[in-house]
Amino acid sequence: MNSEKKMGNFTTKEIGIFTTNQHEPTRIRTFNMFVLFVVKFFLILFLSCAAERLPVREIVIERDGVVVAVVKAEIASTHEERSKGLMFRQSLPDGEGMLFVFESDQILSFWMKNTIIPLTIAYITYDGRIVDIKDMYPHDENSVVSSRSVRYALEVPQGWFSRAGVRVGDIAKIN
**DSSP 3-state of 175:** coil
23: amino acid identity, one letter: H
Q: Specify the amino acid at residue 55.
A: P
Give me the pLDDT at residue 32, please: 72
Predicted confidence pLDDT, tens digits, the chain (175 residues)? 555 555 555 555 555 555 555 556 666 777 777 776 666 655 555 544 544 789 999 999 999 999 999 999 999 999 999 999 999 999 999 999 999 999 999 999 999 999 999 999 999 999 999 999 999 999 999 999 999 999 999 999 999 999 999 999 999 999 7
Counting DSSP H helices and E strands in the chain, the numbers are 3, 12
Environment class of 167 (CB within 10 Å of its CB; exposed 0-12, middle 13-18, buried 19+): middle
Assign residue 159 a region: left if phi > 0, alpha if psi is -120 to 50, beta otherwise?
Answer: left
Measured between alpha carbons, how far is 153 from 108 in angstroms, rounded to an integer?
8
Question: b/e string for 15-52 if b means 16 or more Cβ within 10 A?
Answer: eeeeeeeeeeeeeeeeeeeeeeeeeeeeeeeeeeeeee
Q: What is the pLDDT of residue 53?
A: 84
